[in-house]
């Protein structure tokens, strides 16, 4: 996929040309669907959002809001990963608030990121820790988001961010350790 024509289309779309999205959608659909699969692979079975629905919700939210000035294909994919994560967080928070007395579940980072079913409270706890990581170390938070929520491999993340793959792996290990410490700390204080 050539980046320059895509970047021009993204910039047109950001300036309000919604017709550019019609040209962009087929170029990104496979990547966005793969990302959505990555987000949903840890959700409980029977989750009301399916990968296609998550991609469509992303497009709907993208059309309905002010668009950032997309700098490149990689920038668009980072924004897409963040938006999809937020859609799932909003969904989980909505479900939790709909239940009376829904107590938060305590879990480790490994449990939250690697178990086949991620309960809504667990994804919310991870999201809260990830927001703090982003506040302190934005690049590391972005890598975690791309890897564990977006399903991108270290190689794909390195390509998307134009980084050395060994640097990506190192930063992911450091970020995971930091997040685990934060989740452990929040468990001890509550």
The domain ranges of the chain are 3-189
**CA-closest candidate to residue 125, choices 141, 142, 110, 104:** 104
**Is residue 144 within 8 Å of residue 116, measured between CB atoms?**
no
Nearest residue to 36 via CA among 26, 25, 46, 50:
50
pLDDT band at 167 (very low <50, low <70, confident <90, very high): very high
Digit-coded pLDDT (tens) for 30-70: 888 888 887 777 665 556 678 888 888 888 887 666 667 77
pLDDT at 35: 80
pLDDT(23) > 90: no
The confidence band for 91, taking pLDDT boundaries of 50, 70 and 90, is: confident
Q: Phi and psi dihedrals of 15, rounded to 5?
A: -80, 5
pLDDT at 117: 43
pLDDT at 105: 47
DSSP 116: S
- pTM for the whole structure: 0.60
Instruction: Give the whole-number percent of the chain exceeding pLDDT 70.
Output: 72
Return the higher-pLDDT residue of 22 and 114.
Answer: 22
How far is the C-alpha of 181 from the C-alpha of 169, rounded, in Å?
18
Q: Flag whether pLDDT at 168 surpasses 90.
A: yes
């Amino acid at each position: 996929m050539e980046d320059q024509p895509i970047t021009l289309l993204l910039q047109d779309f950001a300036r309000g040309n919604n017709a550019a999205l019609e040209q962009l959608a087929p170029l990104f659909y496979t990547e966005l669907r793969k990302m959505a699969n990555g987000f949903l692979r840890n959700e409980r079975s029977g989750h009301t959002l399916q990968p296609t629905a998550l991609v469509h919700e992303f497009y709907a939210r993208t059309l309905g809001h002010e668009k950032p000035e997309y700098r490149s294909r990689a920038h668009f994919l980072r924004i897409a990963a963040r938006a999809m994560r937020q859609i799932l967080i909003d969904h989980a928070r909505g479900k939790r608030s709909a239940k009376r007395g829904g107590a938060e579940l305590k879990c480790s980072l490994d449990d939250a990121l690697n178990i086949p079913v991620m309960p809504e409270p667990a994804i919310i706890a991870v999201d809260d820790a990830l927001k703090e990581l982003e506040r302190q170390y934005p690049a590391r938070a972005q890598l975690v988001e791309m890897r564990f929520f977006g399903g991108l491999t270290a190689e794909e993340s390195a390509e998307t961010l134009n980084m050395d793959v060994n640097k990506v792996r190192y930063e992911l290990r450091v970020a995971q350790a930091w997040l685990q410490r934060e989740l452990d700390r929040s468990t001890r204080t509550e």
